[in-house]
Structure 1
Amino acid sequence: MSLIGAHVGLAPAGSLLAAYRADSCFVFSSARGALLAEGAYFTVSSPPRDGGLADLAARVGGSLRGAAAAGHEHPIVVGAVPFSSATDACLVIPRSVRHAPTLVPPGHHLRYKYLLGREEAVPHPESYVEAVREAITHLRSGRLAKVVLARSLRIPFDGRLTPLLAALARHDPAGYTFAVPLRDGRVLLGASPELLVSRRGRNVAANPLAGSAPRSADPAEDRSRARGLLESAKDRHEHALVVDAVAESLRPLCGTLTVPAEPVLTRTATMWHLSTTVTGELADPGVSSLTLAAALHPTPAVCGVPTEAARRLIAELEPFDRDFYTGVVGWENASGDGEWALTIRCAIADGSVISLFAGAGIVADSDPEAELAETTAKFGTALRALGLTHA
Structure 2
Amino acid sequence: MSTPAMVRPRPVHRAADLLAAYLPGSFFYSSATGSLLADGVHAPVRAGHGSRAAAVSEALDAAAVHGVEDPVVVGAIGFRPDAEASLVVPAVVRRAGAPDGSGPAGAPASAKWSITPRPEPEVYADGVRRALELIGAGELDKVVLARCLEVTADQPVPVPALLSRLVRLNPAAHAFAVDVSAPGDPAPRALVGASPELLVSRRGTEVVANPLAGSLPRVADEAENRRRVAALLASAKDRAEHAHVSAQVAEVLGRFCVDLDAPAEPSVIGTPTMWHLSTRITGRLADPTDPGSSALALAEALHPTPAVCGVPVDRARAAIAELEPEDRGYYSGLVGWSDLQGDGEWVVTIRSAEVCDRTVRLFAGAGIVAGSDPAAELAETSAKFRTLLRALGLEGTA
Question: Normalization by structure 1: what TM-score?
Answer: 0.94
Taking a change above 3 Å as real, the CA distance of residues 249 and 110 of structure 1, as seen in their structure-2 partners, is same
How many positions carry a matched residue from both structures? Answer: 379
Query: 2:12, 2:254 → 1: CA distance?
Result: 36
Q: Secondary structure of the equivalent of 2:102? A: coil
Per-residue CA distance 1:200-248 (angstroms, 9 max, x = gap)? 0010000000000001111111111111111000000000000111011
Per-residue CA distance 1:60-82 (angstroms, 9 max, x = gap)? 11110110001111200000011
Is the Cα contact below 8 Å between 2:166 and 2:391 reproduced in 1? yes
Query: 1:161, 1:8 → 2: CA distance?
Result: 29
Provide the residue aligned with 1:341 in structure 2: 347
Provide the residue aligned with 2:5 in structure 1: none
Is the Cα contact below 8 Å between 1:8 and 1:97 reproduced in 2? no
Give the counterpart of 2:107 among 107, 111, 119. Answer: 111
The letter for the 1-side match of 2:300 is: A
Query: 1:338, 1:370 → 2: CA distance?
Result: 36
Taking a change above 3 Å as real, the CA distance of residues 307 and 38 of structure 1, as seen in their structure-2 partners, is same
Q: Secondary structure of the equivalent of 1:119? A: strand
Could you tell me how far 1:84 is from its partner in structure 2?
0.8
Query: 2:340, 2:10 → 1: CA distance?
Result: 16
Is the Cα contact below 8 Å between 2:108 and 2:391 reproduced in 1? no
Unaligned runs of 5+ in 1: 1-6, 50-54
The letter for the 2-side match of 1:196 is: L
Query: 1:306, 1:289 → 2: CA distance?
Result: 24
Provide the residue aligned with 2:13 in structure 1: 11
Is the Cα contact below 8 Å between 1:9 and 1:99 reproduced in 2? no
Q: Secondary structure of the equivalent of 1:154? A: strand
Provide the residue aligned with 1:301 in structure 2: 307
Per-residue CA distance 1:117-166 (angstroms, 9 max, x = gap)? 12000011100000000000001111110000000111113321111111
Could you tell me how far 1:10 is from its partner in structure 2?
2.8
Taking a change above 3 Å as real, the CA distance of residues 38 and 8 of structure 1, as seen in their structure-2 partners, is farther
Provide the residue aligned with 2:395 in structure 1: 389
Provide the residue aligned with 1:288 in structure 2: 294
**Superposition pairs for residues 1-391 of structure 1, below 5 Å?**
9-22=11-24, 24-49=25-50, 55-103=51-99, 106-157=102-153, 158-184=156-182, 185-286=188-289, 287-390=293-396, 391=398
Query: 1:165, 1:104 → 2: CA distance?
Result: 15
RMSD: 1.4
Taking a change above 3 Å as real, the CA distance of residues 296 and 275 of structure 1, as seen in their structure-2 partners, is same
The letter for the 2-side match of 1:211 is: G
Could you tell me how far 1:105 is from its partner in structure 2?
5.5
Per-residue CA distance 1:244-276 (angstroms, 9 max, x = gap)? 110111111112211101000100000000000
Query: 1:242, 1:111 → 2: CA distance?
Result: 37
Between the aligned residues of both structures, percent identity stands at: 52
Is the Cα contact below 8 Å between 2:146 and 2:324 reproduced in 1? yes
Query: 1:105, 1:273 → 2: CA distance?
Result: 21
Greater mean alpha carbon deviation, residues 111-120 or residues 290-299: 111-120
The letter for the 1-side match of 2:383 is: A
Per-residue CA distance 1:164-221 (angstroms, 9 max, x = gap)? 1111112221110000001322100100000000000010000000000001111111
